[in-house]
Amino acid sequence: MWCESFFTTTGLRAVGSSFTAYRGNGFWARDWLLATWLEALADVIPGDAPPWLHDAQQYWRHQARTGFLGCIDADLDGTVSSPDRVATVLGLAGEALALLVRVADGTGHVPAAWLNQRHVAGDDPWCRDLDPGHMRQVAGVFTALLRGELLTSVATSPVLPSPNAGPPVAG
């Protein structure tokens, strides 16, 4: 796992980015985006899931809710260690994106209230809703990574979302 953090000139807010790696490739994403994605993945894991998936659910929730700055780790190499697990997590990724679309409902945005209720990205409150386009970006690269189609590295991956989009959190 590779990490980076940024502090504003006032030092009042930190915005980190974390690298999600799998089998030597991966992608950078802002922590608030990756935390939301891991929370959605954890939410769609069924109660009758096998033990390895329950362990992943607990781990992903911890990563999503702790408020790490630049150090969120999905532990894909440790969790998604076989073709059947890849297939399972790919299916969950589709369900996670569908969940976020449902949560956005008629507003077109993932409500700040939903994010705050789950303490996504820690205890700092969200004051704006989340653009679902950002979630589609991370869902796309996440699934491409698991399918072996994403070939970017720490040095070559851009940071999601686009560089000019700031985090929708209180400052």
124-141, pLDDT tens digit by residue?
Answer: 888 888 888 888 999 999
- 42 pLDDT above the threshold of 70: yes
pTM: 0.86
For residues 121 and 115, what is the distance between their CA atoms, to the nearest angstrom? 8
Question: How many residues does this entry show for the chain?
Answer: 171
Q: Tell me: pLDDT of 106 over 80.
A: no
Cα separation, 100 vs 58, whole angstroms: 19
CA distances from 167 to 69, 160, 162, 164 (A): 13, 11, 11, 10
pLDDT for the residue numbered 71: 87
- Tell me what the mean pLDDT of segment 59-63 comes to: 97
- The domain spans of the chain are 3-160
Average pLDDT estimate for 4-10? 36
What is the model's pLDDT at position 9?
37
Residue 62's CB is within 10 A of a number of other CB atoms, namely 14
